[in-house]
Structure 1
Amino acid sequence: MGTTTILMRLITKLILIYFGIELAIFLGVSAIPVNNPGMAQSFSSTVSSTDSLPYVLLFLTIFSHNLSIALVDFLPIIGIAILLFSIGSTAYVLTSYTTTVYHVPGIVAAIGLMTLPHSWLELPSYAVAAGAGTYAIWKRDWVRSLLMVPFAALELLLAAMVEAAEISFSQLAYFMWIPGAIAIVGLYFLYEYLQKKADNYQKVGVGNVNAYSSQGYQYPTQYPTYYYPASQPQYANPQFSLQQEVISMLYKAQVMENQGRIPEAMQAYWDVAILLVKEASIKSGFMPITLQDYFNAVNLLGQKFYPELPTLFQGAYNSKSNGNFEEFKGYVLPLISKLKSILGIS
């Protein structure tokens, strides 16, 4: 029985890391007893003035304030600093207020807030913003990061609606978990949908689509189909056709390398690997389309044939992203060789 390998996306890892940091800072700072009457008085006045607002005005006030913070969090590098400062200052004000006014440790109030649904909508949105900003400069994937802007805005919109309801109808605050839980589940599925949209937008290997056009070749923009030289006839033997295609593509990659056209050569070698992964996957009963599919496919091929395939594929992908050609060749050529062996072509 086959096993499907699920790989967590880098942007998801970043979001979870920042969310963990948020929680650690919020709970950690709030656990520090601070006696600050001035800050406590200021906070009390602010709370009194906002909590007395009608529901709609309260919702708009909360939403606009939180959205302005999240938009800054999207800024690469700067956003991380703003995130850490904003969550730390919030916890500091909270512990100042509870310690000074109620003589209760701030950590008690912090944990109490975490039992309310708006916290699990609001806090992750800041992590989404910081994670998307970091991902944008790390992977130069602006499409995926920009898709997170309306997502975070929607998340904060729902958080503000829930929080305003918790304040306006305080006796029913915990009943807000009903719409809150529905919102959290819906946002999860929306997040996955947007990530898949980003995967489909940035297909594996799509790069300089006209790299071969002057020499009679057309780069593929999608990988579910074969891609042949424009003038090459169809072969009666598909295996022979694939072998000739690989030979031609490798030759073109080597020519580009010898001519010093390193980025194009790197893309050409990568396309050979992608084509072979696709064909080997189809042979094993799996049709990869998105980037995530290709990583999963290589893991499955590694389980079935060569255990080192996932390492080679990951190494080639990383070094290609970093523009390290020599390191890239050290991964991609053994990868191509093993994939050719799986397909029975020389």
Structure 2
Amino acid sequence: MVKIRHWTLPNGFKAHVSENDLKLVEEDLSEDLQQGEVLLESVYLSVDPYMRIHGDPIGPHKTMFGEACLKVIKTRNGEFPLGTLVLANSGWRSHYLSKDGKDLRSIPYDLGSLSPSVSLGVLGMPGLTAYFGLRILEPKAGEICVVNGAAGAVGSLVGQLAKQKGLTVIGFAGSDEKCNWLTNDLKFDYAFNYKKISLEDAFKKAAPKGVDVFFDNVGGDFFHEMVTKHMAHNGRVSICGSISNYNDTEKHKFPQINMDILFHELTIRGFMVYSFEKEFDTAFNDMVPLVKKGELKFKETLFEGFEQMPAAFVGLFKGENTGKAIVKAGNYP
């Protein structure tokens, strides 16, 4: 028998997320597999802000949903030999039983010397989000790009990709340490601690004539002030997330902004990364060489142990992570 542990969400999240919202459940699973079945152990698991508002708990235990990189530990399926690494939306569980392997995805590139954890970060959903979210902004060399949540899994990549296209990049993050990482290591042109400086003062220094492209991870007051005060004529905005609002129990109302959008002829577009799924291979072809050559840098905040899932998740909403938050739950190789 294999003991499977699940982090479950029995009653949903209540306002601000808490570790107490999640409960650990254990169950025994027989190792006597049927033909076609694959038994896997979670090696790395992802925690992401979107989990606060998107998706439903899985199965009778209400297992918390999410993506994992898993290792095959027993198999009766010829497509998945022992030791194979795969990706699956298997949820927050220590082990997973696939009935036929159809819900498992091979890592779509050669890892080389990279850790498999990159498949959940820089070369996974966050990396793809940065790639396509920037692309829809149609960035042009010489323009000014702003990204908030700039030291996170997505924002840190957006800024680097924009720099490679010849844009001036301005990042906003929540600590001096993060801002130093953005300017010193990732070569952002400017990085501001939003807890210490107003947008007005920041843009007097960095973009007095306005911002051409704005990649929004935060929403709320930041988005409203950007659209009404700091966008250049014909500016473009992509809305990736709104983490400042994810714990809200009721919607905030802002003064109307439609006239600001009209007179500045702004383009504002929300996007979901899986709308670009048919083009994922193109993105990987561009990004994998950059990562391997060290030209697209990344950082992971690694939590050791499956029991750290709730703490890793709650930490996202406190700004405790730099780069991608990842939980290492199993051994590899």
TM-score scaled by length of structure 1 = 0.25
- Structure having the higher Rg: 1
Q: Which of the two has greater helix per residue?
A: 1
TM-score scaled by length of structure 2 = 0.26
